[in-house]
Amino acid sequence: MADNKFSLLSFSGKMKVLHLTWMAFFITFVVWFNLAPMLQAIAQSLGLTKSEIKTLLLLNVSLAIPARIVVGMLTDVFGPCRVYSGLIFVSSIPCLMFATAGTFEQAAIARFLLDFVGAGFVIRIRMVSEWFPNNGLVPLKASMAAGVIWVRRYLSPYPPSRFSLATTTVGATP
């Protein structure tokens, strides 16, 4: 594409890819971390012990590294659009399994399988880097850093120290 104009509010050309990519990433992120905000309700409804809760939390990230490697290799072979679509589609199965789990074992198997959806950011990075040259990402990085700062300042109940690393990393990468 020859369009070098950076217009964040546009939904055509490169910006369409950017917006569809962040929407897909948002879906994968919500599916991957759907346990945390509802943990107490899930633990109460399934009658989980503290050790079972810790196990579920560990299973949520246990396949993170192998999943990223597999998803990265699949992205190289089939392309980011197909792999992202497939990842979201296939991940709906363990997501529904987790939502309908009636026992700890069912929930544990579902959380273990949901690790693969956490590798969605690998595809997002690939898609954005293919569509935007390195010098075209400067405004995008600046807006991401500004968003992190805004969330930290106005929405987060946590102290600033937790966000300083993220803000520095996003804003300072070349």
Average pLDDT of the chain?
Answer: 77
Contact (CB, 8 A) for 136 and 81: no
Give buried/exposed letters for 88-97 (b at 16+ CB in 10 A, else e): beebeebbeb
Least confident of 45-49, 72-76, 137-141: 137-141
> What pLDDT does residue 37 have?
86
Tens of pLDDT, residues 20-62:
888 888 888 888 888 888 899 999 999 999 999 999 989 988 8
Cα separation, 60 vs 76, in Å, equals 25
Residue 112: pLDDT band with limits 50, 70, 90: very high
pTM over 0.85: no
CB neighbour burial string for 117-135, b if at least 16 within 10 angstroms, e if fewer: bbbbebbbebbbeebbeee
Q: 159 is written with which tokens?
A: 């102290």
Looking at residue 172, its pLDDT comes to: 40
